Structure 1
Amino acid sequence: MHPGAAQASRRWPVDRWAEVVRGLRARGAQIVLSGGPDERERALAVARRAGLAESAVLAGRTRPLELAALVARARLLVSVDTGVAHLATAYGTPSVVLFGPTDPALWGPPADRPQHRVLWAGRTGDNFSGRVDPGLLALWPQHVVDAAGELLGASPVR
């Protein structure tokens, strides 16, 4: 799971990420949190709120090639629309990608790849806003957990 993003408009709230972590762990998923060095504090906050061990927070502890390898081996990636989501598409790693201000038809995984789920409220916004996009806030943790559960039930063990 990759809870960070460079733009504030794409930063889904920490408490919602934590709820997704709890929901997926309840289904038996093993969770690690990825991110860059500047996203480590956010990932740690998600872990604390979700009851996830700090050792599962890889944010700020992986180099780009290590992150790419992690995505390539994952059973599933859950992320907002950011670079790591594009890695999942490139590697064929199943993904649930949350879109806020950007149109997934332009920036999301190709529609003909059923191993990816796009969650989007259907409206574009200001990608460079200093606040979380209202469309992203229209997405709830249960939407993410349900989409992830569908993919985890269908994905091969990696």
Structure 2
Amino acid sequence: MSGYAYVTAEGLKKLRAEVEQLERIERPSISRQIGEAIDKGDLSENAEYDAAKEAQGLLEAKISRLRGILANSRIIDETKIDTSKVQMMNKVTIKNQKNGAVMTYTLVSETEADFKQGKLSINTPIAKGLMGKLVGDVVEIQVPNGLIPFEIVDISL
């Protein structure tokens, strides 16, 4: 994994809890499933064994990916966040210039993104287009529906 993953202290805590859940609960569960499938006999025609082995591979890949993120995580000091221009951890209110819709998003790391809670990954086209801009700036951002102009209405914490 290249680069750093910037996260909040809360985000890092959740990430660690997820890795622990996967390692302490999910991993043993899949191992038991594999053991039970082996006990049933002929592995060459055992769909349960194949499914359990595939689930194990996916789980191990996920654990490895999350451990990589943890190893490269840097905690953001939320007390030093500037609101003069758009940056990570800012709450940004934008207005769609085409239809007048006003939206507010908090720009967060990929691991903390949750669109339903208004937490937008900094890797999305909208967030990338807003980074470094000031209140009052109008930014044209390419989204799946085309090029849309957004006005930055407010930047806060």
**Interval containing the TM-score (normalised by the shorter chain):** under 0.3
Flag the structure with higher strand content.
2
- Please give the TM-score of this superposition, normalised by the length of structure 1: 0.22
- Please give the TM-score of this superposition, normalised by the length of structure 2: 0.22
Return the index of the structure with the highest Cα Rg: 2
Higher RCO (C-alpha 8 Å, min separation 6): 1
